[in-house]
Amino acid sequence: MRSFLLKVLMVTVFCLSLAACGERESSTETIQTEESASSKEENDGDEAESENLGQSEQESESSESTEQETEIANSTEPEPETEETVEQKVVLWIESHSLEAKVAQMFIITPEALTGVGNVTAAGEQTKTSIENCPVGGLLYFASNLQNREQVGEMLRNTTEYYDEIDMPRPFLSVDEEGGRVTRIAENANFGVPSFPSMSEIGSTGDVTKATEIGTTIGSYLKDLGFNMDYAPVADVLSNSENTVIGNRSFGSDAEMVSQMVIAESDAMFTEGIIPVIKHFPGHGATESDSHTGYAATGKTIDELMQCELIPFKNSIENGIEAIMVGHISVPNITGDYTPASLSEYMISTVLRDNFGFDGIVITDAMNMGAVSNNYSSGSAAVLAIKAGVDIVLMPADFQSAYNGVISAVQSGEISEERINESVNRILKLKYELLYETE
């Protein structure tokens, strides 16, 4: 390029010289013209050579640049989905969907409550239509819904496909599979899966690897069947020997040992692709009554709970647990009344959220249990739970009343839509991170 510019300059100077010599004699002009012609021919040849050289250099530079760009393109791998892109998906979904769709995400109900069918063992047209009408956040299955591997696999696959077809977030497909005396699958010989002794027997060994084995085994067969969430392990410390509702479902009376067992089992379950939901905050092991039938209360203070019952929950939060079930346990010496913890803003928003720093999903225990259904309507109970800080309302006695009650509370200003968005954000974040991991 530099050689080409030099030649142009020489030609310019030569042209100026010709103009200066315009008044010379004819003979001189003839000579000059001949010299000019000769010089021009030489210059033309030099310029052509220079242009060819410049063009060659440009082509070489262009070729090198193209090769470098190709190498860069080939070496750049697609970036994996990051936390930021998940957050963007969540924000976009919340901004683009109705209040009704958002509130639906905050309920997990039975397939019977969804469809109105007496006992659901398949996901066909009725399930599809019901999901299109109200795509709830998840479904909970009981033993009566679960017959054998093929039947369960098809039912859960179809259910997930119905959500995908209408471009709604995939549902939590959940079950109570603790091991010991609370199982929905291991108790059925058609599934051919291992069964385990009571958790109290596991805890009595002091061998944490046994809890890991339980989590791995249960997590593995649940994942194979198509589930993605399990209401286990039990994190209750059996601090009251008269307790019967928890009893041998607990790993034992030593809070630190229970904590280690719970973390080991939940970690193993999560590794298998199942979201563990530890239960029942703030601890059902100190109560005497059964919240299935009525109020279950403990007279302990917050300091006393911190020294025992709350230890497994606090340690699990520090270990990164994704979801916690809150029980219908009254703590009158903490809250001043018999409001169940599942409806208590102090127990959920202050203790669990603020004091323990938990920002995962809070799920109520089944809201059709006597401690709630005998004292609150489905609508008012759902509203109170969400105002208290709950993200997911589980199995209200009357789903439609609970669902409509929450929508009405938002429309009246009793619950802000920002409060709804807060819970939906947590729910969708967990779904987008964990329910689409194979894609």
Q: What pLDDT is stored for residue 20 in this prediction?
A: 41
Task: Clarify whether residues 131 and 33 are in a common domain.
Answer: no
Task: Clarify whether residues 70 and 32 are in a common domain.
Answer: yes
Q: What pLDDT is stored for residue 81 in this prediction?
A: 53
Task: Clarify whether residues 133 and 240 are in a common domain.
Answer: yes
Order the strands of the 107-109 sheet from edge to edge.
361-364, 323-326, 275-281, 229-230, 172-175, 138-141, 107-109, 393-394
439: in domain = no
Burial 85-102 (b: 16+ CB within 10 A, else e): ebeebbeebbeeeeeebb
Domain end residue (candidates: 51, 75, 99): 75
Report residues of the chain scoring pLDDT below 70: 1-84, 289-294, 437-439
260: in domain = yes
Q: What pLDDT is stored for residue 295 in this prediction?
A: 73
CB 297 within 8 A of CB 332: yes
Task: Clarify whether residues 15 and 161 are in a common domain.
Answer: no
CB 334 within 8 A of CB 346: yes
Task: Clarify whether residues 58 and 94 are in a common domain.
Answer: no
Task: Clarify whether residues 279 and 308 are in a common domain.
Answer: yes
185: in domain = yes
Task: Clarify whether residues 213 and 279 are in a common domain.
Answer: yes
CATH of the domain at 429: 3.20.20.300
Q: What pLDDT is stored for residue 30 in this prediction?
A: 37
CB 213 within 8 A of CB 163: no
pLDDT digits (tens, 9 = 90+) for 94-135: 999 999 999 999 999 999 999 999 999 999 999 999 999 999
353: in domain = yes
259: in domain = yes
Task: Clarify whether residues 23 and 138 are in a common domain.
Answer: no
Q: What pLDDT is stored for residue 41 in this prediction?
A: 42
Task: Clarify whether residues 174 and 143 are in a common domain.
Answer: yes
Task: Clarify whether residues 142 and 236 are in a common domain.
Answer: yes
17: domain range? 2-75
pLDDT digits (tens, 9 = 90+) for 372-391: 999 999 999 999 999 999 99
Task: Clarify whether residues 203 and 111 are in a common domain.
Answer: yes
Domain end residue (candidates: 30, 46, 75): 75
In this structure, what token pair is assigned to residue 170?
């995939």
In order of 207, 286, 392, the CA distances from 330 in angstroms are 33, 11, 20
Q: What pLDDT is stored for residue 140 in this prediction?
A: 98
Alpha-carbon span 222 to 274, nearest angstrom: 7
Helix (H, G, I), strand (E, B) or coil at 298: coil
Long-range CB contacts (within 8 A, 24+) of 93-99 = 93/169, 93/428, 94/421, 94/424, 94/425, 94/428, 99/407, 99/410, 99/411, 99/417, 99/420
Q: What pLDDT is stored for residue 240 in this prediction?
A: 86
CB atoms < 10 A from the CB of 346, how many? 18
CB 300 within 8 A of CB 354: no
Single pTM value for the model: 0.81
Task: Clarify whether residues 96 and 69 are in a common domain.
Answer: no
Give the distance from CA 146 to its chain's centroid. Answer: 26
Entry field: residues in the chain:
439
Domain end residue (candidates: 47, 75, 103): 75
**Structural domain count, the chain:** 2
